């Protein structure tokens, strides 16, 4: 018993109960409301539905009684925790309340359906998201980038001469494929770096051209086939457009709510938050 009386948790609980009792004595009407736990039909239906969702059947009478008893005890603990101020300055509770507010905002935005023509306008405003990639079929001869300027120019002249004379020629890099068939913009960028596909798109077909510069060196290229990317009609990409439209709509709704919310507050930030060097 002496050990129990020395427990800090017991002391804290007793202080809380005394505080709650004092509040009840000074505010009898508020205390009556705070001390009344009502389990109405809606609450019972909610408890039953949650049980059915977990177990695939409705609870028996004994199970429902146990559910109600658990809810009552949980509610009593919850109210006592609020009375003791456990919800104040708690980052976990603060984060959870923030999440519930954001969920409410998102649910309102998600309920909105696009108006006629809205998805078509969204597609037209963001064509880069849905455009099919261009495809290239070509052959390339790579000239290494580790040559001096004089060596590079000599190598370019030698490659150009052998191509014009239709003589056999090897590429400097065995790791870089010589033939590419129906390669997309993404694949070409992965092998040669950005902007190389743009150079390819401007080449005539079936003619050796060069030198072209890439992120890995210099190349002579013969383009055999080029299929430009295009923007599909809405009915081909409607699912993706609708998904992106909903996402952007939710972000815009968040921004509107945040602006409206902050308009109701005067925000004061201590000067110590500023960078002394600014």
Which burial class, exposed, middle or buried, applies to 214 when counting CB atoms under 10 A from its CB (0-12, 13-18, 19+)?
buried
Q: Is the pLDDT of residue 18 over 90?
A: no
- 66-75, 85-94, 205-214: range with lowest mean pLDDT: 85-94
pLDDT at 34: 61
Q: Which is more confidently placed, 183 or 87?
A: 183
- Residue 117: per-residue pLDDT: 95
Please state which architecture CATH assigns to domain 133-227.
Roll (3.10)
- The structure's pTM equals 0.51
pLDDT at 173: 83
pLDDT at 10 over 50: no
- Give, as one character, the DSSP assignment of residue 57: S
Cα→Cα distances 35→10, 32, 194, 234, Å: 22, 5, 69, 59
Specify the pLDDT at position 23. 47
Domain ranges of the chain: 15-93, 118-126+232-262, 133-227
Question: H or E segment at 166?
Answer: none
CB 203 within 8 A of CB 209: yes
- The span from the CA of 131 to the CA of 35, in Å, is 63
Mean pLDDT value across residues 182-210: 93
Q: How far apart are CA 82 and CA 23, in angstroms?
A: 13
C-alpha to C-alpha distance for 258 and 266, rounded to whole angstroms: 14
E strand residue ranges, the chain:
135-143, 179-184, 208-214, 217-227
Residue 89: the pLDDT is: 85
pLDDT of the residue at 274:
66
pLDDT value for 12: 45
Confidence of residue 109 (pLDDT cuts 50, 70, 90): confident
Top mean pLDDT of 13-22, 33-42, 47-56, 192-201 is at 47-56
Q: Which of 6-10, 62-66, 121-125, 191-195 is the least confident region?
A: 6-10
- Over residues 237-242, mean pLDDT: 96
């Amino acid at each position: 018993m002496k050990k129990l009386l020395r427990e800090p948790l017991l002391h804290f609980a007793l202080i809380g109960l005394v505080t709650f009792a004092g509040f009840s004595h000074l505010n009898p009407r508020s205390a009556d409301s705070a001390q009344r736990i009502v389990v109405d039909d809606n609450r019972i239906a909610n408890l039953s539905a949650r049980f059915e969702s977990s177990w695939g059947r409705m609870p028996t009478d004994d199970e429902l009684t146990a559910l109600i008893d658990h809810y009552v005890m949980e509610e009593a603990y919850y109210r006592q925790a609020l009375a003791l101020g456990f919800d104040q300055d708690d980052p976990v509770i603060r984060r959870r309340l923030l999440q519930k507010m954001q969920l409410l905002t998102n649910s309102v935005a998600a309920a909105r359906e696009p108006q006629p023509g809205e998805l078509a306008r969204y597609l037209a405003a963001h064509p880069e998201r849905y455009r099919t990639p261009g495809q290239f079929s070509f052959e390339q001869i790579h000239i290494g980038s580790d040559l001096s300027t004089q060596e590079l120019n000599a190598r370019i002249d030698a490659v150009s001469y052998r191509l014009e004379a239709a003589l056999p020629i090897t590429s400097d890099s065995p790791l870089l494929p010589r033939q590419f068939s129906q390669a997309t913009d993404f694949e070409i960028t992965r092998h040669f770096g950005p902007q190389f596909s743009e150079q390819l798109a401007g080449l005539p077909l079936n003619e050796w051209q060069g030198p072209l510069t890439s992120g890995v060196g210099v190349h002579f290229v013969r383009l055999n086939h080029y299929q430009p990317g295009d923007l599909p009609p809405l009915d081909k990409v409607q699912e993706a457009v609708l998904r992106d439209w909903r996402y952007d709509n939710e972000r815009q709704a968040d921004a509107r709510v945040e602006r409206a919310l902050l308009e109701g507050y005067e925000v004061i930030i201590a000067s110590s938050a500023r960078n002394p060097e600014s």
